[in-house]
Structure 1
Amino acid sequence: MLSYRHSFHAGNHADVLKHTVQSLIIESLKEKEKPFFYLDTHAGAGRYQLSGEHAERTGEYLEGIGRIWQQPDAPELLAPWLSAVKSLNHSGNLRYYPGSPLIARHLLREDDKLQLTELHSSDYPLLRNEFSKDARARVERADGYQQLKSKLPPPSRRGLILIDPPYEMKSDYQAVVKGIQEGYKRFNTGIFALWYPVVMRQQIKHMLRDLEATGIRRILQIELAVRPDSDQRGMTASGMIVINPPWKLEQQMRDLLPWLHKTLVPNGNGHTKVEWIVPE
């Protein structure tokens, strides 16, 4: 599991979807004055250099943020996420991409709190250094799933829990469901946002069935595919499972996904999806 480095994939189509959803949820939480808690279970390094060896080797960002960066007709719903990207690229040239912790840092307010967890021996020191001067943030090298037990519920009783494991081990597909179950038991009013890759569709179907079997209500699925499902190697799509989504999120993503799909997938392959796995 710890061989995974997000630096190879930073800014790709999956990040575009994940961070758009993350940003819209954070903006929704900010509509109330009361502070909230942000928990990132698999936080990564925080900042990624797009001209670095890893990003250059795959070039995935060119078909993700590279296709949206400085688009004149970018929808207003993308503004919070794009403002976080622009905050790292003052020159106007796309040199860095913010991971979910830096997007949260950019969007959260002074009284909101961040709890960031990362296990990778190379990424953890980078993450800790990024947040060394941010009094709102606590950075730990610890098991992300364990945080769903130990850090919930937060004192504010409001929050977003982002779960974004590497899925390099097949057990992650079961571990995320168990983790959500544990977290929801402690914090059933929290917003849980789970990212998933579509490499083998059958794994996702099993995961969704397991989530349904938990008895948790209000589970929304948002998916963006850049290629049809395949039994060949590689990710064809990614998605976000959101439990207790803000009331506007479903319509926001229905409005946004057609533009994202057209921009990211000029040949029209793949699909988009917004549907309830389990309704109210």
Structure 2
Amino acid sequence: MHPTDSRSLAGNVAQLEAGRQITVAREDGFEALKALLPPPSRRALVLIDPSYEIKSDYAKVTACLRDCLQRFATGTYAVWYPVIPRPEAHDLPRRLKTLANQSGKPWLHATLAIGQAPDRTTPGEPAPRPGLLASGMFVFNPPHTLKAALAPALVQMEAILGRGRGQGHQLEAGG
């Protein structure tokens, strides 16, 4: 996390009443989880959102979750990932689903694609960069109400954020 973002996040968390229950640390999250799990309360939601700028992050996510599930099997783990044209990104949801099934854990997988905006560039001008067109969230041990709550939310988010060709969403669960 960028230092400015880290300070901003820490400041926002400090303003919350729940600030004592939330830990903000600017360090290697994959390594930090080893010291934090299992938590004393035996309840936790762990958000895993690496930069994915380094290709090895994809493999680290799977290895980290395997370790987390051994240390704290009942925790809820939410993994965000970009849907981009990179083999590692394409394989990640399949690997997470395999890990969840091998571990006997319930899982939920949601994706949202906003699609590409119509090309409105003037001839001779460079086309604007499209940015991230889709992303996904894979959740291990999701709350039992999450799928029912997320289904209409995905429809609404697609309606608000969708830009046309390629937009859509998917929601699946297992375990």
Same fold (TM over 0.5): yes
Instruction: Spell out the pairing of 1:107-126 with structure 2 (5 A cutoff).
Output: 119-126=1-8
The alignment partner of 1:261 has SS state of helix
* Selected match of 1:265 from 157, 162, 166: 162
Cα gap change, 1:138/1:255 in structure 2, threshold over 3 Å: closer, same or farther?
Answer: closer
* Selected match of 1:221 from 106, 109, 125: 109
TM-score of the aligned structures, taking structure 2 as reference length: 0.77
Partner residue, 1:244: 141
Q: Which blocks of at least 5 consecutive residues in structure 2 are unaligned?
A: 117-128
Q: Is the 8 A contact 1:220 1:242 kept in 2?
A: yes
Q: Which blocks of at least 5 consecutive residues in structure 1 are unaligned?
A: 1-118
Partner residue, 2:124: none
Take 1:196 and 1:162, find their aligned partners in 2: how far apart are those partners?
A: 11
Deviation at 1:126, TM superposition (A): 3.7
Take 2:43 and 2:155, find their aligned partners in 1: how far apart are those partners?
A: 31
Q: Is the 8 A contact 1:199 1:233 kept in 2?
A: no
Take 1:268 and 1:208, find their aligned partners in 2: how far apart are those partners?
A: 23
Deviation at 1:269, TM superposition (A): 3.8
Match status 1:149 vs 2:34? yes
Q: Which is further off, 149-158 or 129-138?
A: 129-138
Kindly provide the amino acid, as one letter, of the partner of residue 168 in structure 2. Answer: H
How many percent identity over aligned positions? 36
Deviation at 1:221, TM superposition (A): 0.6
TM-score of the aligned structures, taking structure 1 as reference length: 0.50
Deviation at 1:197, TM superposition (A): 0.7
Deviation at 1:161, TM superposition (A): 0.5
Cα gap change, 1:132/1:169 in structure 2, threshold over 3 Å: closer, same or farther?
Answer: same
Take 1:201 and 1:274, find their aligned partners in 2: how far apart are those partners?
A: 22
Take 1:153 and 1:198, find their aligned partners in 2: how far apart are those partners?
A: 30
Kindly provide the amino acid, as one letter, of the partner of residue 6 in structure 2. Answer: Y
Instruction: Spell out the pairing of 1:19-30 with structure 2 (5 A cutoff).
Output: none
Partner residue, 2:46: 161
Deviation at 1:252, TM superposition (A): 1.5
Deviation at 1:224, TM superposition (A): 0.5
* Offset from partner CA, 1:41-96 (integer Å, 9 cap, x none): xxxxxxxxxxxxxxxxxxxxxxxxxxxxxxxxxxxxxxxxxxxxxxxxxxxxxxxx
Kindly provide the amino acid, as one letter, of the partner of residue 189 in structure 1. Answer: T
Take 1:243 and 1:223, find their aligned partners in 2: how far apart are those partners?
A: 15
